[in-house]
C-alpha cells in the first residue's frame, strides 16, 4: 500500500470520526466525498500503475490515460514543497452519475502529510466510429494533478486532424472548463467542428459539430458528462 492509498484511507477515517459534525455544520456535501472510493485501478506496484489505460467507447472514440512518474512530477515542479509524490493508475468510470457533485476545498483542509499525484489523458473522438468519418477527428487533451485528492494543477488543449483528404476539412475546436484547482473535480468540455463534405475552391457543404465533456477527480477517475455527435 503506497502513501497515496494510506492517505486516502486516513483522510476518510479522520473525516468520519472527528470532523463530520463540523463539516455538516459548514454546509458541505460530505456524502459526495465519501461516496467516491479509491479507484479500482490504483496499484501499489508503481510500474503497473504507470502503464497507459486505453478505453474504446461504443461509438468508436478512444481515450488513453496514464499516471506521471515521480520523476516527471518533480521535473515539472508540480508538487508542493515537502509533499510526497505517489502514483495511482487512472480508471474510467462508465456511470458518471455516481460521481456526485464537485465540492470546493474547505479553507482549513490542511494535513500533516501531503501527497501529490498527476495524470494526463487524450480523447480522440470522430475518428472511425461505425458509419461516420475516417481520419477526421478532434483531440481533447488534459493534464492535471491532485494534492491530498484536491485538484491542484490543470492544463488543457485541443487539436484536429483531417487525414489530408481533399473532401475533409477541420473547422476548429474550442474548450471550456469548470471547477478545477481547489475543487474535488475538474470538468472540461471540448467542441470540434468538422466538415465531411468539403468542395475544394467552394467550401463546406456538410459539417458536424461534436462535443465531449469529461469530468476528472483527485483519485485519477474520469467519466463522460456530455457526448454529442
The per-residue pLDDT for range 43-102, each reduced to its tens digit, is 346 777 889 999 998 888 889 999 999 989 988 888 877 778 999 999 999 999 999 999
**Residue 172: pLDDT band by 50, 70, 90 thresholds?**
very high
**Residue 21: pLDDT band by 50, 70, 90 thresholds?**
very low
Please determine, for residue 192, whether its predicted confidence score (pLDDT) is greater than 90.
yes
Please determine, for residue 16, whether its predicted confidence score (pLDDT) is greater than 70.
no
Condensed to tens digits (0 to 9), the pLDDT of residues 119-142 reads 999 999 985 544 455 678 999 999
DSSP string, 105-165: PPSS---SS-EEEEEEEEEEESSS-TTS-SS-EEEEEEEEEEETTEEEEEEEEEEEE-TT-
Cell numbers 469529461 correspond to 214
Candidate from 105-119, 133-147, 173-187 with smallest mean pLDDT: 105-119
CA-to-CA separations, 190 to 59, 69, 124, 199, 214, in angstroms, rounded: 17, 27, 11, 26, 9
Please determine, for residue 18, whether its predicted confidence score (pLDDT) is greater than 50.
no
Q: What is the pTM of this model?
A: 0.77
Strands 221-228 and 91-92: parallel
Query: How high does pLDDT run on average in the chain?
Result: 79
Which pLDDT belongs to residue 35?
A: 31
Higher-pLDDT residue of 162, 179: 179
Q: Where are the domains of the chain?
A: 39-95+112-228
Q: Who contacts 59 (Cβ-Cβ below 8 Å, separation ≥6)?
A: 125, 129, 130, 227
Which pLDDT belongs to residue 134?
A: 64
Mean pLDDT of the 128-157 span:
84
Which pLDDT belongs to residue 128?
A: 52
Which pLDDT belongs to residue 27?
A: 36
Candidate from 39-48, 154-163, 174-183 with smallest mean pLDDT: 39-48
Amino acid at each position: 500500500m503506497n502513501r497515496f492509498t494510506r492517505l486516502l484511507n486516513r483522510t476518510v477515517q479522520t473525516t468520519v470520526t472527528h470532523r463530520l459534525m463540523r463539516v455538516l455544520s459548514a454546509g458541505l456535501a460530505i456524502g459526495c466525498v465519501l461516496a467516491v472510493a479509491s479507484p479500482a485501478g490504483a496499484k501499489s506496484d508503481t510500474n503497473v500503475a504507470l502503464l497507459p489505460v486505453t478505453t474504446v467507447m461504443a461509438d468508436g472514440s478512444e481515450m488513453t490515460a496514464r499516471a506521471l512518474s515521480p520523476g516527471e512530477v518533480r521535473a515539472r515542479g508540480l508538487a508542493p514543497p515537502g509533499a510526497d509524490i505517489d502514483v495511482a493508475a487512472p480508471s474510467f468510470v462508465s456511470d458518471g452519475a455516481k460521481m456526485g457533485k464537485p465540492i470546493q476545498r474547505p479553507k482549513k483542509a490542511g494535513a500533516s502529510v501531503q501527497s501529490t499525484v498527476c495524470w494526463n489523458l487524450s480523447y480522440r473522438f470522430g475518428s472511425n466510429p461505425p458509419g461516420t468519418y475516417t481520419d477526421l477527428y478532434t483531440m481533447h487533451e488534459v493534464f492535471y494533478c491532485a494534492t491530498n485528492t484536491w485538484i491542484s494543477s490543470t492544463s488543457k488543449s485541443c487539436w484536429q486532424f483531417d487525414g489530408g483528404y481533399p473532401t475533409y476539412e477541420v473547422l476548429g475546436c474550442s474548450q471550456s472548463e469548470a471547477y478545477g484547482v481547489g475543487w474535488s473535480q475538474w470538468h472540461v468540455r471540448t467542441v470540434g467542428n468538422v466538415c465531411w463534405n468539403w468542395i475544394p475552391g467552394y467550401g463546406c457543404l456538410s459539417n458536424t459539430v461534436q462535443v465531449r465533456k469529461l469530468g476528472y477527480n483527485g483519485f485519477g477517475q474520469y467519466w463522460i458528462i456530455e457526448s454529442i455527435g
